[in-house]
Amino acid sequence: MRMAAVLNPFIWDRPLDDPAKIIGMEAFANRVALTLKGQTNVALFGPRDTGKTTFTNQLALELAKSHDAGAPPFDVVKVNLQRVVSIPGFIGCVHDAMIGHPHKRLRRAAQRQIGALEKEIGFDIKIVKGSVKSSARTPAQDAETLHAQLVALRSVSDRLVVVFDEFQRLRHCPGDPLAIIRSALMSSGANHVSLLFTGSIRNAMKMMLERSQEPIFGEAADMQLPAISRVDFLEYLDYQFSETHKPADEDALNYLLAATGAHPRSTQQMAWECWVNTPSGRRVTLETVMRAHDRLVQTIERSEFASVLNLLMGGDEGEANEVRALQLLADRGGDKVSSRPVAARYGFSSHSRVRPALERLQGRGLVDHRDGTWYIVDPLFGEWLRRASPLADHVAYSPDGD
């Protein structure tokens, strides 16, 4: 038997890079690629774990294609800002993105640029990262280094897209990183560069990009990562289970997707949970899926979701309202959130308090708003809340309902 046949086909703990495994993003990648090639920057919102980083991988493939006469191939450099809280940290991330570029040609170009930069500024970039001993550096020196480094970055290709993943993290970075980005990557010498900002906390991103006193005001087209359609996911799961000799029953797959609402990470995690618990050659049944679902809902007890909930429970009235809103959403869905009797049943002093509470939860990335309806982003968290709720009507999912 080929090894590939026994490897787990479901990945849920890291972004996907194999294009054969990325579901349903081609059309959107094409749209975003054409926008970027047309010299418009893009700000892409999507809650946590819904596939933003995965999407940037699909996008890189799309950008590498030549589209029309005016849209030849573009190179991509991805800067992961997830852990950035300072300018030296930002410099470290850009350094890693350049030195560790997956394509040799770009990696070489980046090394050449960094070499030239180090000669010009007279020291090793590693000094900034703290891995080489040196005397203390001033914030102004660090800002200058970052600027010079971004200018070096823009020189690695004649047609370049720079992706700033988890851009909203820069909100906590002192030293005006946005002004430095603007000056290095959005000025007249950077006409060949387009930027993609991704972020999970919509309000923070919007604030940074749109507030008039901020330097990136009005420079980016605002797009939302599309949901993966249920049929596309169904087809993918069906194919992967049978290819790995663990074919899945139709009602099992329908139950799985109803339980996760086709949420990208949770769907893959639940598929994986079913997969590891099914011996090779056996079928994945409705019972397999229901058991997997129960186990995963129980893991929420020890997850960050439970800690956040505890924190909110111990907080002030505004935070208590957030707990109420979460519970309401988990029990009843997002259609009737501002009904007076419902709000009263959940302990709101007025039904007008529901919406601000939902907005605060959205700011935390726990709930979101799509097609006019509020919903809890993580379906396992939602189900965990619902199961413990004294106000929910505990009707099990019907396999073909949603």
Ligand X SMILES: Nc1ncnc2c1ncn2[C@@H]1O[C@H](COP(=O)(O)OP(=O)(O)OP(=O)(O)O)[C@@H](O)[C@H]1O
Q: Whole-number minimum distance, CB 15 to Mg ion, in Å? A: 6
Cβ within 8 Å of residue 393, ≥6 positions away: 331
Amino acid in the structure at residue 231 = V
Interface with ligand X in residues 59-88 (CB under 6 A): none
Tell me the HSE value of 13 on the side-chain side, using a 13 A CA sphere. Answer: 4
Q: What φ, ψ does residue 148 adopt, rounded to 5°?
A: -60, -35
Q: Whole-number minimum distance, CB 270 to ligand X, in Å? A: 10
Q: What φ, ψ does residue 382 adopt, rounded to 5°?
A: -60, -45
Q: Which C-beta is closer to ligand X: that of 265 or that of 332?
A: 265
Q: Which C-beta is closer to ligand X: that of 254 or that of 260?
A: 260
Whether 399 contacts 258, CB under 8 Å? yes
- Does the footprint of ligand X cover residue 363 (CB under 6 A)? no
Q: Where are the beta strands (DSSP E) in 200-276?
A: 220-224
Q: Whole-number minimum distance, CB 81 to ligand X, in Å? A: 11
Of these partners, ligand X, Mg ion, none, which one is at the site of residue 12 (CB under 5 to 8 Å by kind)?
Answer: ligand X
Whether 216 contacts 208, CB under 8 Å? yes
Q: Whole-number minimum distance, CB 61 to ligand X, in Å? A: 12
Q: Which C-beta is closer to Mg ion: that of 108 or that of 172?
A: 172
Whether 159 contacts 135, CB under 8 Å? no
Burial per residue of 326-351, b for 16 or more beta-carbon CB atoms within 10 angstroms, e otherwise: bbbbbbbebeebeeeebbeebebeeb
- Does the footprint of ligand X cover residue 53 (CB under 6 A)? yes
Cα(363)–Cα(377) distance, integer angstroms: 12
Q: Whole-number minimum distance, CB 352 to ligand X, in Å? A: 31
Q: Whole-number minimum distance, CB 222 to ligand X, in Å? A: 17
How many CB atoms lie under 10 A from the CB of residue 287? 11
- The contact mask relative to Mg ion for 53-92 (x = CB under 5 A, - = no) is x---------------------------------------
Q: Whole-number minimum distance, CB 200 to ligand X, in Å? A: 5
Q: Looking up tokens 């038997």, which residue turns up?
A: 1
Whether 159 contacts 151, CB under 8 Å? no
- Per CB under 6 A, the list member of 49, 75, 322, 378 interacting with ligand X is 49
- Does the footprint of ligand X cover residue 11 (CB under 6 A)? yes
Tell me the HSE value of 222 on the side-chain side, using a 13 A CA sphere. Answer: 11
- Does the footprint of ligand X cover residue 41 (CB under 6 A)? no
- The contact mask relative to Mg ion for 16-55 (x = CB under 5 A, - = no) is ------------------------------------xx--
- Per CB under 6 A, the list member of 15, 19, 175, 334 interacting with ligand X is 15
- Per CB under 6 A, the list member of 9, 28, 54, 157 interacting with ligand X is 54
DSSP 398: P
- Does the footprint of ligand X cover residue 379 (CB under 6 A)? no
Of these partners, ligand X, Mg ion, none, which one is at the site of residue 145 (CB under 5 to 8 Å by kind)?
Answer: none
Stretch that binds ligand X, among 16-24, 66-74, 307-315, 369-377 (CB under 6 A): 16-24
Interface with ligand X in residues 223-242 (CB under 6 A): 228
Stretch that binds ligand X, among 207-215, 239-247, 263-271, 368-376 (CB under 6 A): 263-271
Cα(254)–Cα(400) distance, integer angstroms: 6
Of these partners, ligand X, Mg ion, none, which one is at the site of residue 14 (CB under 5 to 8 Å by kind)?
Answer: ligand X
- Does the footprint of ligand X cover residue 270 (CB under 6 A)? no
Cα(345)–Cα(361) distance, integer angstroms: 20
- Tokens at 75, concatenated: 């190179």
Cβ within 8 Å of residue 140, ≥6 positions away: none
| Site residues, ligand X (CB under 6 A) | 11-12, 14-16, 22-25, 46, 48-54, 200, 228, 264-265, 268
